[in-house]
Amino acid sequence: MPLIANRKDAIVGLLAVVTIVAAVTAIVVEFQRIERREQLVTEINSAGGVIAFTVPYDADPDNRDRSQPTTYTSLDFYKATIDDQWLSDRSTLQECPLDQLFLNGERLSDESVTSVLQLHPLEFFQGINVRISDDAAASLSSNTRFRELLLEKSHLSDSAFQRLPLERIEQLGIAGTEVTPAGLAELRRCQRLRLLILDGAQFNHEVAQVLQSNGRPLSLLLKGPTVTDEYLGWLKPVMNVSLALNRTSVTPEGIADYRVGLPDRTVFVDGKRHGGRTNAGSGAD
């Protein structure tokens, strides 16, 4: 009996030691992770970027969706530029899953952009001078959290556009890309789209019909001098679209014709509101 008791004591003691060692190891690993993250923040700031770690609004443990992250991570390299070597030298970035990314891809290869999009569970991506290849678009499609894509002076083909998760995307800005009116037929797949940004070369009567057939309320921003009064004629019967114009060639006469018989219809031109009703019921021209 004493021998059995001694063995039990020894096992209990060993388990206690193992528990202590595991706890100490976990603490050391966490400190190392924090140190690596602080070093990464310093390197990002030195390169002109900004990384932020915030707590989501719905992070209350009683209300939060358990599948969502408890920390929301945003990386901004929109005004600063990084290259392939900078990314490859910072494997620590993989330990900080990004939810939001602003990226200037002027010095990045297609492969690097694709790699970043594949590695991180992004909800939002805004890029300037980036190239979204077919593989990059496919990686966004496999990311079930992705919902906003805004591109500027970037490359996106009809083929890559077709691979995007359009059924989930809520905000889509593709003005200045290679997406054509024919490619925009894929917009029929959209189920959650609230904002769409296009340029004059991408929009035509057929695209207006696609938006009309969708039937869901949509804010449409058309950009560029090739947008004329004719575009408003295509949009006139599309009642589910709220229109905004930026640096276009649309005339006051064209806007007036667009609103004939529809006093509540509002158009925003370069940030200025035209039409609609005020609280007193009069127009806001």
Q: What is the DSSP annotation of the chain?
A: -HHHHHHHHHHHHHHHHHHHHHHHHHHHHHHHHHHHHHHHHHHHHHTT-EEEEE--TT--TTTS-TTS-SSEEEEEESSS---HHHHHT-GGGGGS--SEEEEE-TT--HHHHHHHHHHS--SEEEEES-EE-HHHHHHHHH-TT--EEEEES-EE-HHHHHHS-TTT-SEEE-TTSS--TTGGGGGGG-SS--EEEEETTT--HHHHHHHHHH-S-EEEEEESTT--HHHHHHHTT-TTEEEEEES----HHHHHHHTTT-TT-EEEETTEEEE-B-TTS-B--
> pLDDT of 138-194, one tens digit each?
999 999 999 999 999 999 999 999 999 999 999 999 999 999 999 999 999 999 999
> pLDDT of 237-284, one tens digit each?
999 999 999 999 999 999 999 999 888 899 999 999 987 655 444 444
Average pLDDT estimate for 73-96? 88
> pLDDT of 114-147, one tens digit each?
999 999 999 999 999 999 999 999 999 999 999 9
- The percent of residues above 70 in pLDDT, for the chain, comes to 79
